[in-house]
Amino acid sequence: MSTSPAPLPIRLLAQWRTFAPSWMILAGLAVMPLLLSSPNFIRLLFVTLLWITTSVAWNLLGGFAGQISFGFAVFYGIGAYTTALSMNAGVNPFIAFLVSAITAAAASLLVGLPTFRLRGPYFAIATIGISEAVRVVMTNLSFTGGASGYRIVEHRAFRQLDHYYTALVLASIAVAFSVFISRTRFGLGLNAIRQDEDAAAGLGVNPYAYKLGAHALAAALTGMVGGVFSRYAAFIHPQGVFGFQTSVHILLMPVIGGIATIWGPVLGGVVFGIVEEQIIASFPEIHLFIYGSMLILIILVEPGGILGAFRKLLRRIHGRR
């Protein structure tokens, strides 16, 4: 125990066995579009990767730190509009994504400074209010086209694979971030805040600063996703990117997969990416009702999500450890 500790990246490399499955999945996703080059399939993968990223991002705050936010559409939308405005001003798209990350993180501080003085349900309710307020403002803002939306003009040929690999890199960064944070002092502090904020503060954790930090990281990632999406879609409107259903989607995925875990939110993103379009296509009138029912069902039956249910099953098979 007293040997000098190796730096974290080296220790992570040393644990390659743990991460071998992740590397294989990553490699699979990297070659998949080259083998199955149907544009619709690639689009589905692209969208799923974006959903995974927002899901993992939300989990940093909602899962690790236990602060349930219904307001992530704010960061998604701000990211989307920032990239759109920057690209139309001639900025390189990848620089624009970074600008989106910074803008969204800055916005997260504005949202977090007042709302993190609230706890539990009051925080959640406040985020709904802010999210709706921002949507209304954006609907009436004239220089972004208001409710009629905003068009992005990119002066180069559309190559779907560019978009796909951008999303793949972003999703990988998000997951790596999530793994990294869960193993650091920062992650331990967030974990303690989730379980008992007062007890954590009584041992030296600054809950306010930690929540703001997790919120900013989550917002930056979500903002980048918004940016990548807006570049792909080439057209965005407030009702879409700032819509309440966007917030609900972002929150629903980690809950489906398993909150406060590494792979739960990823799993939730995969499931959601696959079923989302089917649900909207089959039940356009009541798709939000379906999501609401899913949310209630999971919270009542298995708050641990798919991963929680799976672990219970494993424990039953192997007997109690």
Does 203 engage in binding with other proteins (CB under 8 A)?
A: yes
Interface with other proteins, residue 188, by CB under 8 A: yes
192: contact with other proteins by CB under 8 A: yes
Give residues 35-74 in contact with other proteins (rule: CB under 8 A). Answer: none
Closest approach of other proteins to the CB of residue 66, in Å? 11
Binding to other proteins by residue 14, rule CB under 8 A?
no
Q: Does 179 bind other proteins (CB under 8 A)?
A: no
Report if residue 189 touches other proteins, rule: CB under 8 A.
yes
Task: Indicate the residue among 87 and 262 with the shorter CB distance to other proteins.
Answer: 262
Instruction: Return the range that interacts with other proteins (CB under 8 A); candidates 110-118, 173-181, 203-211, 242-250.
Output: 203-211
Nearer to other proteins, 140 or 184 (CB): 184
Q: Which is nearer to other proteins, 138 or 205 (CB)?
A: 205
The reply to whether 195 sits near other proteins by the rule CB under 8 A is: yes
Name which of 24 and 199 has its Cβ closer to other proteins: 199
Residue nearer to other proteins on the CB measure, 140 or 195: 195
Distances in whole angstroms, Cα of residue 96 to Cα of each of 80, 148, 161, 164, 264: 10, 23, 19, 17, 30
Q: Which is nearer to other proteins, 189 or 265 (CB)?
A: 189
Among 92, 95, 120, 196, binds other proteins (CB under 8 A): 196
Shortest Cβ 192–other proteins spacing (Å): 5
Under the binding rule (CB under 8 A), the answer on residue 185 touching other proteins is: yes
5 near other proteins, judged by CB under 8 A = yes
Determine whether 77 is exposed, middle or buried from the number of CB atoms within 10 Å of its CB (0-12, 13-18, 19+).
Answer: buried
With CB under 8 A as the contact rule, the residue among 77, 112, 207, 258 that binds other proteins is 207
Among 198, 281, 285, 317, binds other proteins (CB under 8 A): 198
302-305-307 Cα angle (round to 5): 120
180 vs 244, beta carbon nearer other proteins: 180
What is the widest separation between alpha-carbon atoms in the chain? 63
Residues near other proteins, by CB under 8 A: 1-2, 5, 183, 185, 188-189, 191-192, 195-196, 198-207
